[in-house]
Chains A and B, each alone.
Chain A
Amino acid sequence: MNNNEIFEPTIIGFTCNWCSYRAADLAGTARIKYPPNIRLIRLMCSGRLDPTFVFKALASGADGVMITGCHPGECHYLEQNYKALRRFHLIRRTLKGFGVEPGRVKLVWASAAEGAKFASETAVFIEEIRALGPLHWGKSNGYTPFGGKPPEFEPAPESPEEVPA
């Protein structure tokens, strides 16, 4: 990436059918502007969010993941958004062990009436990820360690001393 170019992050957003997707829909019909960096995937409920989705998004090149759902106490399926909440906390802790900034995963509650909140939270998150920089999982300097033949690789600095005879 050219240093002069502005980094445009790729964000995967998971929305629930009953609240946050409708909030996004409302943001659209109300013509509220927010940056186009987020790709939304609609689930029936935030409780459907398998942590696998988050890891797959990051492993496939996403720079951040936004999980959204109904406000606590307002879940269409009674309490599944609490499961999403607990998974979100555990996902962030696990990602820390992988050397990933926990801020790359965000949880937002948005009711069907909160189109403006959805748009503003999305815009804020995109700027947060822009500040963190690209993730580009498994790729550095155009090199992919997980596919193809790894390059010649010297494991450690050469010894400063001659090897004794």
Chain B
Amino acid sequence: MTAPNGKKPKFAMYWAASCGGCEIAVLNIHEKILDVDANFEVVFWPVAMDAKYKDVEAMEDGSILLTLFNGGIRNDENEHIARLLRRKSQILVAFGSCACEGCIPGLANFSPAGEIVHTAFNTVSTDNPHQIYPRTSFDVPEGEITIPKIYPTLRTLDQVVDVDYYMPGCPPESHQIAAVIDLVIQVLQGKAELPPKGATIGAGDSTVCDECTRKRNVKTIKSFHRIYDLDIDPELCLLEQGIPCNGPATRSGCNARCVSAGAQCIGCYGPAEGVVDYGARLIAAFASVIDSNDPEEIEAILDGIPDPAGQFYRFNLAGSLLKAAKPAWEKA
């Protein structure tokens, strides 16, 4: 972890299938961003500076010290840049929920890719009387022009390339980003050591419930509710009040922000340490506290969760054991 010939080490950040919120979260570390500039040479960061893919392709392999990669792999451009940055980087971080586990773009794995394109280009919300769809390549007098090809499903970064570290969150909390940047700078100065490869950085190793300050008793649930249907007790555990709160399976690190503000945890920090399948853990947790042993009554209570697959896999679909719904891979 040294910079060759006294030059500043190189830093890159890229967005694949993502919303751009991760980039905003990085800028949201305020004056800490100056530390980034003081300690790194930013060589590639499409949202912040102008750079061409061919510039990155021309770089020596392993010449970028740190790459923060956010976004899932949805098309061949995403995959090309993921493989390229893997080759050029010493440390590749899956940054944010999309790169780690698919996140909201990964919810598209519930539908076939063709249907997604159809929805975007030819439904009531789109004025497309001639049913014109994008073509991935088109001949013009100057030659062939192309746009990226969409893949059947969205994949997480580590389903495509080798990943060194994972930094969860949608987006990662700014104080966590600042702490990670501090750590990397300390490593550069020889004052600290990098965590073991494959570690989750910038997050806790427990669950959101552990950070939550609400009061907890033995849970028994007779019915599930939407948060706007109830007068929420500000002190009491939300799950106990029948609000489907994803805290029991979600990794800590956010200081339980949503639950402190009176909204249920939706699970953006991904599976807690040791959780193999996020949704399965939540199914176990929710089912255990339902207060009924009668199949019919259980079914009636479960009607309160109208979309269980969406509830349990909102952020984690692409990274789950099943990875995509049957219609998505079946028609590939």
Interface string of A124-165 (1 = CB under 8 A from B): 000000000000011110010111011111111111110110
Q: Are B293 and A159 in contact (CB under 8 A)?
A: no
- Asked if B130 lies at the interface with its beta carbon under 8 angstroms from chain A, I say yes
Q: Are A159 and B323 in contact (CB under 8 A)?
A: no
Q: Are B309 and A56 in contact (CB under 8 A)?
A: no
Q: Once bound together, how far apart are the Cα atoms of A87 and B286, in whole Å?
A: 8
Q: Once bound together, how far apart are the Cα atoms of A18 and B38, in whole Å?
A: 65
Could you say which of B114, B299, B332 has the most chain A C-beta atoms within 10 Å of its C-beta?
B332
Q: Are A90 and B286 in contact (CB under 8 A)?
A: yes
Q: Are A58 and B281 in contact (CB under 8 A)?
A: no
Residues of B near A157 (CB, < 8 A) are 133
Q: Once bound together, how far apart are the Cα atoms of A72 and B322, in whole Å?
A: 31
- Asked if A26 lies at the interface with its beta carbon under 8 angstroms from chain B, I say no
- Asked if B234 lies at the interface with its beta carbon under 8 angstroms from chain A, I say no
- Asked if B240 lies at the interface with its beta carbon under 8 angstroms from chain A, I say no
Partner of A159, one of B135, B153, B312: B135
- Asked if B310 lies at the interface with its beta carbon under 8 angstroms from chain A, I say yes
Partner-binding segment picked from A38-46, A97-105, A115-123: A97-105
Residues of B near A161 (CB, < 8 A) are 130-132
Partner of A83, one of B114, B136, B287, B322: B287
Q: Once bound together, how far apart are the Cα atoms of A93 and B163, in whole Å?
A: 34
Q: Are B332 and A86 in contact (CB under 8 A)?
A: no
Partner of B298, one of A58, A85, A139, A143: A85
Q: Once bound together, how far apart are the Cα atoms of A78 and B253, in whole Å?
A: 37
Contact residues of A between 59 and 85, Cβ < 8 Å to B: 59, 72, 79, 82-83, 85
A-B contact count (CB 8 A): 156
- Asked if B33 lies at the interface with its beta carbon under 8 angstroms from chain A, I say no
Give the shortest distance, in Å, between A61 (CB) and chain B (any CB): 12
- Asked if B228 lies at the interface with its beta carbon under 8 angstroms from chain A, I say no
- Asked if A5 lies at the interface with its beta carbon under 8 angstroms from chain B, I say no
Q: Are A52 and B281 in contact (CB under 8 A)?
A: yes
Give the shortest distance, in Å, between A22 (CB) and chain B (any CB): 23
Q: Are A55 and B332 in contact (CB under 8 A)?
A: no
Q: Are A159 and B308 in contact (CB under 8 A)?
A: no
Residues of B near A51 (CB, < 8 A) are 277, 279-281, 283-284, 287
- Asked if B327 lies at the interface with its beta carbon under 8 angstroms from chain A, I say yes
Give the shortest distance, in Å, between B220 (CB) and chain A (any CB): 12
Q: Which residue of A lies closest to B121 (CB)?
A: A156
Q: Which residue of B lies closest to A107 (CB)?
A: B295
Partner of B324, one of A94, A138, A151: A138
Give the shortest distance, in Å, between B171 (CB) and chain A (any CB): 26
Q: Once bound together, how far apart are the Cα atoms of A100 and B228, in whole Å?
A: 31
Q: Are A156 and B114 in contact (CB under 8 A)?
A: yes
Residues of B near A108 (CB, < 8 A) are none
Q: Once bound together, how far apart are the Cα atoms of A139 and B328, in whole Å?
A: 11
Residues of B near A50 (CB, < 8 A) are 280-281, 284
With A58-B322, A90-B302, A138-B323 already in contact, the answer to whether A52 and B277 are too (CB < 8 A) is: yes
- Asked if A89 lies at the interface with its beta carbon under 8 angstroms from chain B, I say yes
- Asked if B29 lies at the interface with its beta carbon under 8 angstroms from chain A, I say no
Q: Are B280 and A90 in contact (CB under 8 A)?
A: no
- Asked if B231 lies at the interface with its beta carbon under 8 angstroms from chain A, I say no
- Asked if B321 lies at the interface with its beta carbon under 8 angstroms from chain A, I say yes
Could you say which of A51, A99, A138, A156 has the most chain B C-beta atoms within 10 Å of its C-beta?
A156
Q: Are B332 and A155 in contact (CB under 8 A)?
A: no
- Asked if A113 lies at the interface with its beta carbon under 8 angstroms from chain B, I say no
Partner of A52, one of B131, B280, B295, B323: B280
Residues of A near B329 (CB, < 8 A) are 138-140, 145-146
Residues of B near A90 (CB, < 8 A) are 283, 286-287, 302, 305, 308
Q: Are B332 and A143 in contact (CB under 8 A)?
A: yes
Chain A: residues with CB nearer than 8 A to chain B? 50-52, 54-56, 58-59, 72, 79, 82-83, 85-87, 89-91, 93-100, 137-140, 143, 145-147, 149-161, 163-164
Q: Give 7 new A-B contacts, CB below 8 A, not counting A54-B280, A82-B293, A155-B136.
A: A51-B284, A83-B287, A89-B298, A97-B325, A146-B159, A150-B152, A150-B332
What are the nearest 9 A-B pairs in CB distance? A97-B309, A99-B326, A86-B287, A51-B280, A52-B280, A161-B130, A87-B287, A156-B117, A51-B283
* Cβ contacts A to B, 8 pairs, < 8 Å: A59-B321, A86-B290, A86-B292, A90-B283, A94-B283, A140-B332, A154-B136, A157-B133
Chain B: residues with CB nearer than 8 A to chain A? 79, 110, 113-114, 116-118, 121, 130-136, 138, 149-153, 155, 159, 276-277, 279-281, 283-284, 286-288, 290, 292-293, 295, 298-299, 302, 305, 307-310, 312, 320-327, 329-332
